[in-house]
Amino acid sequence: MSEAPMSSSLHTAPEENVVTDDVFRKAMRELAGGVAVVTVGHGGDRTGFTATSVSSLSAEPPRLLVSINRASSSWETLERYRNFGVSVLRVGHQGLADRFAGLGGLRGSERYRGANWMKLSDDGAEILQDALAGIDCVVEEILQLHGHAIVVGRVRGIRIQAEGQPLLYWQGAYRQIAQREISR
Amino acid sequence: MSEAPMSSSLHTAPEENVVTDDVFRKAMRELAGGVAVVTVGHGGDRTGFTATSVSSLSAEPPRLLVSINRASSSWETLERYRNFGVSVLRVGHQGLADRFAGLGGLRGSERYRGANWMKLSDDGAEILQDALAGIDCVVEEILQLHGHAIVVGRVRGIRIQAEGQPLLYWQGAYRQIAQREISR
């Protein structure tokens, strides 16, 4: 609650109730997320991006969701190949997450350098060998909405290596989980 | 890599490569998520559910995504009212998260008991007063896909109370973030 005198609340014009992008970003920073790299394309035509927006949609059949900015180079590649990989990152992958987020300015297949990749299907995108989980998806549906696209992926391959701690993003920084579980 | 003798890999029939729902769930358990409660409806007609699937779609204008099982009672209420609230939970909200996840069998407005709620708009759903962030949304678009729906919400109100630690869900348990940031 504001500590300003009550009269100041009278200055709250309707247009001030509009949510600005700054306020929205601040609210979204409160939403912690596991960090994943979404990979698309092949060979020299590979690229990808860092996402905290991957989520499960249904288990039977297995489907997941990811959203993507249609101004990104990954979007064009994803649309062309119609498949993608998801690598769930662990603590230690901060550099990789930065690279796929575009920090340092590396583009396309340059972002893959210095890490080991593998495929779960012949025509699938590459997944990170030491990801907590690597998931191979075929695009099943795309909802284009203004500048963005919501992509539904049908899962056709999975590799799990559950030893390790997940890499988190919260309030603009990489974080890790506290060792101790908390009680319900 | 498997330690089984090579000959055993010959038993891998194509149908065994199909990803089962169990394997998919195991992979998704590796994806840590901030926990939120999504609220819908009004008065005795209120209900809601716990979600780790809320994510930002665009900042200009502010929009977020949430997916929902269409077999749930919240779906029918959401479709009718065409708006919803998102409350980003903090450590200490485990009981509330369980209740909105259906544990204990409480339904509808009973799930709201024992917590304090408020509205950010006259016709909006209620948000939790001590959420890390409370977000008031109008439904902008719905993609119905088999048994599920992907809902795009246009954000029209936000309340942020950033003091506190986010409640996480990882590997089937509530967790919290380690105090220390980790280096890039």
For A56, the closest of B28, B168, B175 (CB atoms) is B28
Q: Which region holds residue A20: left if phi is over 0, alpha if psi is between -120 and 50, else beta?
A: beta
ipTM of the complex: 0.89
pLDDT in tens, A142-165: 999 989 999 999 999 999 997 899
Q: Does B118 contact chain A (CB < 8 Å)? A: no
- Kind plus residue range of the DSSP H or E element containing B128: strand B127-128
Q: Tens of pLDDT along chain B (184 residues)?
A: 333 333 222 233 344 457 999 999 999 999 999 999 999 999 999 999 999 999 999 999 999 999 999 999 999 999 999 999 999 999 999 999 999 999 999 999 999 999 999 999 999 999 999 999 999 999 999 999 989 999 999 999 999 997 899 999 999 999 999 988 888 7
Strand-pairing partners, residue B85, are B39, B136
Q: Domain map of chain B by residue range?
A: 21-170
Chain B nearest-CA residue for A142: B143
Task: Give B134 to chain A, closest Cα distance, Å.
Answer: 8
pLDDT at A3: 37
Which of the pair, A10 or A17, is modelled with greater confidence? A17
Instruction: Say which CATH class B21-170 falls into.
Output: mainly beta
Sign of CA dihedral A98, A101, A104, A108: positive
Chain A nearest-CA residue for B18: A156
Report which of A89, A159, A171, A95 is spatially closest to residue A131, judged by C-alpha positions: A89
In sequence order, what are the residues at sequence separation of 6 or more whose Cβ sits closer than 8 angstroms to the Cβ of residue B88?
A27, A30, A31, B34, B35, B36, B54, B131, B132, B133, B134, B135, B166
Residue contact A24–B150, C-beta within 8 A: no
Chain A nearest-CA residue for B63: A24
- The single-letter DSSP state of residue A8 is G
Q: Does A60 contact chain B (CB < 8 Å)? A: yes
Q: In this structure, are strands B55-59 and B62-69 parallel, antiparallel, or unpaired? A: antiparallel
CATH of domain A22-52+73-136+160-169: 2.30.110.10
DSSP letters spanning B46-65 = -EEEEES--EEEEETTEEEE
pLDDT in tens, B76-101: 999 999 999 999 999 999 999 999 99
Which of the pair, A110 or B180, is modelled with greater confidence? A110
Report which of A132, A149, A131 is spatially closest to residue A140, judged by C-alpha positions: A149
**Chain A residues close to B170, C-beta within 8 Å:** 34, 166, 177
Q: How far apart are CA A56 and CA B52, in angstroms?
A: 9
Report which of A132, A103, A176, A131 is spatially closest to residue B182, judged by C-alpha positions: A176
Residue contact A150–B173, C-beta within 8 A: no
pTM over 0.95? The answer is no
For A156, the closest of B19, B28, B162 (CB atoms) is B19
Q: What angle do CA A105, A96, A52 make, to 5 degrees?
A: 95
Q: Does B143 contact chain A (CB < 8 Å)? A: yes
Rg of chain A over all Cα atoms, to the nearest angstrom = 19
Q: Does A54 contact chain B (CB < 8 Å)? A: yes
Q: Does B101 contact chain A (CB < 8 Å)? A: no
